[in-house]
Structure 1
Amino acid sequence: MASIIMENIYNQIESISSKWKTDNIFIIGKGPSVDQFVNLNYEDHLVININDSEKIIKGDIGIFSANWVRQSLRSNGFHCKYYLAGKPLAREINHDLLPPIPFELDDEELITYRFTKPEYYDEPFVLTNALKLCLDIAKITDKKPNVYLLGFDFSTEHGQLSKAFKQDFAHGELDRSLMVHSHETLYLQLAKFCEETRQVDLYHVGEKKYSRLSPQELVTKFSVTKPKIVSDKYPDEQVEHHKVLIVAELTNNHLGDTNRLLEMVERAYNAGADLIKIQKRDVDTFYSKEKLESYYWSPFGKTLKDYRKGVELRNDQIEVLDRKCKELGIDWFCSILDYRSFEIINDFNPGLIKIPSTISNHTDFHKQIAAAYKGPIVISTGYTDKAYEDYVLETFSENEKIYLLHCISSYPTQLNDCNISVVSHYNELGLKYKNLTPGYSSHDIGSFGSVLAVACGARMIEKHVKLGDVDWVHFDKVALDLKDDSFINFVKDVRNAEVALGSSEKKILASEHHKYEVIKK
């Protein structure tokens, strides 16, 4: 039986690798860093998926061991051409079932020993079989492949999973934080063997001391498609009805510091944000002379002008932000508070712009924007009533999309003031106004209001974030700290709300069963 399985495996490898046009093999893991590589061009390369990583990047060969992987793949469909499976799959899925490790070889210290044998076993450390496949492919094709490991972070510093995973099917079955060190040790053993035998050229892509390429170097090495703007990503909410865009609103909490700005972007991205938002205003013209000269203590001076000038992002800093977001593969947009700021931001060809609640009464400015910009626009409705809603729908009627965000302009917003039902009203408006998408700009504490907003139809959730406490920045008290798990947990709560909403079609699910049998008379 074992010989038959081995023959099948070799036949499959030979068939798939015969269509391989380059010397490059990508092995796809699920660590957060893999999100930087979703836009790479994999068409001519061989791609091996570990566990359910095909949900991030679809490959040619899938390898898994645990039962939860089978459940995860069922939920999304099986996309690989062939699977080396630790658990049996349906007959119509092209796969070979791997035998368990023989008792006498079932020891982590024997992993390299097993690695050198021709037989494949159901290895719990699945990367073992992926690297073994690469060695066999090298023998069959008589090539020395370049093997790139993507998403094998061997760290939980920036989160545990790619943000592509809205539901973690492994939840409760393993603690990744406890397994990281063990898996890293096993990998280094196999990597050392590959290095000394020189059958493959192995590249760990990451920030480890043994990494041969940084993520940016890999992106530079391989062609990458142009990042899509938001309006292209979600042109029709019916395609993915409950998809919610999570916006990390930086406000002024970058403090005008470039390094702090970039750290906030990276942390928000790693936590699972879909979009980064900044603010832009022309300080000298936005405030009156009297207000600018008023007392306000900050490290930049003792006037409001000193403070606002200090925390305002310069154009060169916005360029740095733009480059960083393109590198990570995350979009950014900006609240613009005057026309000069609009002109500056518009030069970056943004996928979105925002009209914040702060300037809901600046009607002349609104008309200028409506005349000059027809792309997607985000509008918060804090400190306004229904009349403003009608005004927005008329003024921006020609814009490609209006994200209308219910908002309460109090910091923090108390539960009895949240009025989340307004989101339901905006959702109903969306049935009449096809360019309207409902959302919620959260000034309440935590995630409760945002979760309710998702249930009411919100498709964009905006949340203030910070990097530690700063006494002199007035929005800090409502922002979630990126230094701890606050924003990570917020994102999880919103994603769980997405999943729980499910389908509006009432039908019998596979998980359901009757408690009592029907008694036949």
Structure 2
Amino acid sequence: MSTNRLRTLGEKTVGPGHPVYVTGEIGINHNGELENAFALIDAAAEAGCDAVKFQKRTPEVCTPRDQWDVERDTPWGRMTYIDYRHRVEFDEDGYRAIDEHCAKRGIDWFASPWDVESVAFLEKFGVPAYKVASASLTDDELLRAMRATGRTVILSTGMSTPKQIRHAVEVLGSANIVLCHATSTYPAQAGELNLRMIHTLEREFPNVPIGYSGHETGLQTSLAAVALGACFVERHITLDRAMWGSDQAASVEPGGLQRLVRDIRTIEDSLGDGVKKVYESELKPMEKLRRVKGVVAEAEEAGADGADREPAAV
């Protein structure tokens, strides 16, 4: 198999012919609590995910200045929006603890940096990859900062036009990226998922592995993405969909995450190589159930028994 569609994430290979790389997107569903982050890491590890993903922002860069002082109700009381943005961000000590917990559980972690300063922050941890959130696809400065690290970059394509996607791929370079189809509605409706875009992206970018980042409810459509060829799957995960936070309702709870990973493994095992064959397990049922061997079967047996015979006259 050609290696031009394969990428390395940590010690694992992503691309055709390799197991689907499954990422549990924690994002900010931890609500700024390390205990929640650890519990979500545990749930992802127990489900068999390959990695968990966080989001990293510099609040003063990513929050519009006119929203800084707008007050809002939060689980920690009423506070300004800029204070809230700081409340749900982990500092270096927090990410050190996350790094150690992931190592203990044998699962990788990486993040979506939303600004250049956050890329520099994450470089302290030697993450295996960076993720470009769909909202950041048009931020050329940020894309260049990620590319400069030399790490694999996973690019989500929600809320973006074909021209914008092509431009982002040009900025990042196609040699070290994974491209993910996505629809950026939370939660996304089935009629807007457009999963056949996986094939469209495969044709448009033949040297790039194609994945899927889902924000829908339920598991069926993410499994369908695997059947259509997605080699990377990301879903938001939560401890409880009723928890406070904008992404919780479009997330998968621990039990659903276990079913998702289990069924992804079953689907990829069942897809096969596309070459029709008679399996050894079929021979006894064939002997028992097939009443007429058929002309083709007899001709094949004759060819096997006497390949040098002249063909029969017709």
Give the RMSD, CA atoms, in angstroms: 2.0
Question: Would the aligned equivalents of 1:295 and 1:304 in 2 still touch at CA under 8 Å?
Answer: yes
Query: Partners of 1:520 and 1:469 in 2: how far apart?
Result: 57
Shift of 1:296: 2.3
Asked if residue 261 in structure 1 is aligned to residue 37 in structure 2, the reply is yes
Asked if residue 494 in structure 1 is aligned to residue 267 in structure 2, the reply is no
What does residue 343 of structure 1 align with? 120
Equivalent position amino acid for 2:130 in 1 = I
Paired residue secondary structure (2:122): helix
Aligned pairs for 1:422-433 within 5 A:
422-430=197-205, 432-433=206-207
1:439 to 184, 187, 211: 211
CA deviation profile, 1:167-211 (whole Å, cap 9, x unmatched): xxxxxxxxxxxxxxxxxxxxxxxxxxxxxxxxxxxxxxxxxxxxx
What does residue 474 of structure 1 align with? 246
Q: Which runs of 5+ in 1 are unaligned?
A: 1-228
Equivalent position amino acid for 1:351 in 2 = P
What does residue 418 of structure 1 align with? 193
Aligned pairs for 1:116-131 within 5 A:
none
Q: 1:265 to 1:471 in 2, by over 3 A?
A: closer
Query: Partners of 1:361 and 1:395 in 2: how far apart?
Result: 10
Shift of 1:267: 1.4
2:95 to 311, 318, 328: 318
Query: Partners of 1:479 and 1:408 in 2: how far apart?
Result: 14
Asked if residue 464 in structure 1 is aligned to residue 236 in structure 2, the reply is yes
Aligned pairs for 1:116-265 within 5 A:
230-234=9-13, 237-238=15-16, 241-265=17-41
Question: Would the aligned equivalents of 1:242 and 1:501 in 2 still touch at CA under 8 Å?
Answer: no
Question: Would the aligned equivalents of 2:119 and 2:145 in 1 still touch at CA under 8 Å?
Answer: no
Q: 1:311 to 1:520 in 2, by over 3 A?
A: closer
Shift of 1:334: 0.4
Equivalent position amino acid for 2:244 in 1 = W
Paired residue secondary structure (1:248): strand
Asked if residue 406 in structure 1 is aligned to residue 185 in structure 2, the reply is no
Question: Would the aligned equivalents of 1:427 and 1:457 in 2 still touch at CA under 8 Å?
Answer: no
What does residue 62 of structure 2 align with? 286
Structure number with higher relative contact order (C-alpha < 8 Å, ≥ 6 residues apart): 2
Query: Partners of 1:380 and 1:498 in 2: how far apart?
Result: 22
Shift of 1:283: 0.4
Query: Partners of 1:429 and 1:510 in 2: how far apart?
Result: 39
What does residue 503 of structure 1 align with? 273
Query: Partners of 2:48 and 2:135 in 1: how far apart?
Result: 27
Question: Would the aligned equivalents of 2:241 and 2:250 in 1 still touch at CA under 8 Å?
Answer: no
Equivalent position amino acid for 1:517 in 2 = R
State the identity %: 27
Q: 1:327 to 1:520 in 2, by over 3 A?
A: closer
Asked if residue 454 in structure 1 is aligned to residue 226 in structure 2, the reply is yes
CA deviation profile, 1:417-472 (whole Å, cap 9, x unmatched): 01000112223345x32xx1110001111111111111111011001011124553
Question: Would the aligned equivalents of 1:353 and 1:378 in 2 still touch at CA under 8 Å?
Answer: yes
Shift of 1:270: 0.5
Structure-2-length-normalised TM-score: 0.84
Q: 1:516 to 1:414 in 2, by over 3 A?
A: same
Between stretches 505-514 and 305-314, larger displacement belongs to 505-514
CA deviation profile, 1:298-325 (whole Å, cap 9, x unmatched): 1233332232111111111111111111
Query: Partners of 2:9 and 2:293 in 1: how far apart?
Result: 56
Shift of 1:244: 0.4
Q: 1:428 to 1:296 in 2, by over 3 A?
A: same
Query: Partners of 1:359 and 1:519 in 2: how far apart?
Result: 61
Between stretches 355-364 and 442-451, larger displacement belongs to 355-364
2:130 to 353, 360, 379: 353
Question: Would the aligned equivalents of 1:464 and 1:480 in 2 still touch at CA under 8 Å?
Answer: yes
Q: 1:255 to 1:323 in 2, by over 3 A?
A: same
Q: 1:460 to 1:424 in 2, by over 3 A?
A: same
What does residue 157 of structure 2 align with? 381
Aligned pairs for 1:43-122 within 5 A:
none
Paired residue secondary structure (2:197): helix
What does residue 271 of structure 1 align with? 47
Q: 1:386 to 1:258 in 2, by over 3 A?
A: same
Of structures 1 and 2, the larger Rg is shown by: 1
Paired residue secondary structure (2:282): coil
Shift of 1:381: 0.5
Question: Would the aligned equivalents of 2:116 and 2:141 in 1 still touch at CA under 8 Å?
Answer: no
Query: Partners of 1:311 and 1:407 in 2: how far apart?
Result: 25
Shift of 1:503: 1.9
Question: Would the aligned equivalents of 1:441 and 1:461 in 2 still touch at CA under 8 Å?
Answer: yes
What does residue 309 of structure 1 align with? 86
Equivalent position amino acid for 1:486 in 2 = G
What does residue 290 of structure 2 align with? 516
Query: Partners of 2:293 and 2:236 in 1: how far apart?
Result: 58
Structure-1-length-normalised TM-score: 0.52
Paired residue secondary structure (1:474): coil
Q: Which runs of 5+ in 2 are unaligned?
A: 1-7, 296-314
Question: Would the aligned equivalents of 2:68 and 2:81 in 1 still touch at CA under 8 Å?
Answer: yes
